A and B are shown apart, each in its own frame.
Chain A
């Protein structure tokens, strides 16, 4: 998993400038807003990655338990579970 700084660096390379819209007008973010937006993006990206990793881990554990019982996810679907 990438670190927060790595994500911020990549994001800044991809978007050297960021913008906000207010009532049909567009404004470039000032330096403080830009840093804040990059940080927020990185924190959200990490949070999403952690959630996805947890979900995948739970899925793998559940599949392993099923396999130990000789079942698959398709078997559960067939039972309406």
Chain B
């Protein structure tokens, strides 16, 4: 039998550079350069490779691999910003989050005359909620403009406002074709006290009028101004971002979180 043959006299061991006798091995993890794999070892390696998922299955950053059926891997391309992973027809997929607010982004700004958020409105959500605080300098208050392609719209803002200085005056104001909406009262940059606001934007990313409403409460020194302002922007434009400024065009500082949701 071949396995019982004795190597010829003078036979030497094989190397990677010369022929010779060689010892077989079943190992699939050895790093030896002087032994040879048996068909058994080759089959073990083949079985492992045959059962593995090809790395070429993914093509894009953020891709996810899932089983489209038992033992059948498939690729799920990355979803859009703000989408969540869900299950539809028994397989995973990306979908617009429903049933609640989804935090999109948090921004802060200080010592600037304007603050631009370029890309926040999309068709992922219909409506947006801005929750924040601000310290505008030099009176006035925090204001917002809608923005698309890097340009903020500075006309067509119509709104009605009702404000009360506790212990002081009451204001009822209105504007048509204004240059911006006021979303927060100034606190004069006081180190004590705050200006807080909650602002709602309806359909800013649809080519129709955007509606807005803001609640603002301020305590700073002797000023305790509380107010509401609401209205619409009379342009049939889909906006992708917003720009903050002071109603006095002075410096602003503050922070806010933007949430999105759909009905």
* CB nearest to A43 among chain B residues: B249
Least CB distance from B171 to A in Å reads 10
How far, in Å, is B170 (CB) from chain A's closest CB? 10
Which of B57-65, B109-117, B195-203, B204-212 contacts its partner? B109-117
**Size bracket, chain A contacts:** 10 to 19
What residue in chain B is nearest A48 (Cβ atoms)? Answer: B248
**Which of B116, B119, B139 has a CB less than 8 Å from the CB of A20?**
B116
Q: Do residues B251 and A15 form an inter-chain contact, with CB atoms below 8 A?
A: yes
Pick from B107, B112, B118, B139: contact of A19, CB below 8 A.
Answer: B112
A54 at the interface (CB under 8 A from B): no
Q: Which residue of B lies closest to A27 (CB)?
A: B112
Measured CB to CB, the closest approach of chain A to B140, in angstroms, equals 8
Q: Are A22 and B249 in contact (CB under 8 A)?
A: no
Q: Are A21 and B249 in contact (CB under 8 A)?
A: no
- Asked if A24 contacts B112 (CB within 8 A), the reply is no
Task: Say whether B248 contacts A22, CB under 8 Å.
Answer: no
Distance, CA A29 to CA B249, complexed state (A) = 14
CB interface residues, A 1-59, toward B, < 8 Å: 15, 18-24, 26, 29, 37, 40-41, 44-45, 48
Contacting pair A37 B249 (CB below 8 A): yes
B92 within 8 A of A: no
Count chain A CB atoms within 10 A of each CB in B107, B111, B118 and give the residue with the most.
B111
Docked Cα-Cα span, A18 to B251, in Å, equals 8
Tell whether B108 is near chain A: CB-to-CB under 8 Å.
yes
B193 at the interface (CB under 8 A from A): no
Task: Decide if B250 is an interface residue (CB 8 Å cutoff).
Answer: yes
Alpha-carbon distance A75/B254, docked complex (angstroms): 42
Shortest 4 CB-CB distances between A and B: which pairs?
Answer: A21-B115, A21-B112, A21-B109, A41-B249
22 contacts between A and B (CB under 8 A): A15-B251, A18-B112, A18-B113, A19-B113, A20-B114, A20-B115, A21-B109, A21-B116, A23-B107, A23-B117, A23-B119, A24-B107, A26-B111, A26-B112, A37-B249, A41-B113, A41-B250, A44-B248, A45-B248, A45-B249, A48-B139, A48-B140
B residues lining the A interface (CB < 8 Å): 107-119, 139-140, 247-251
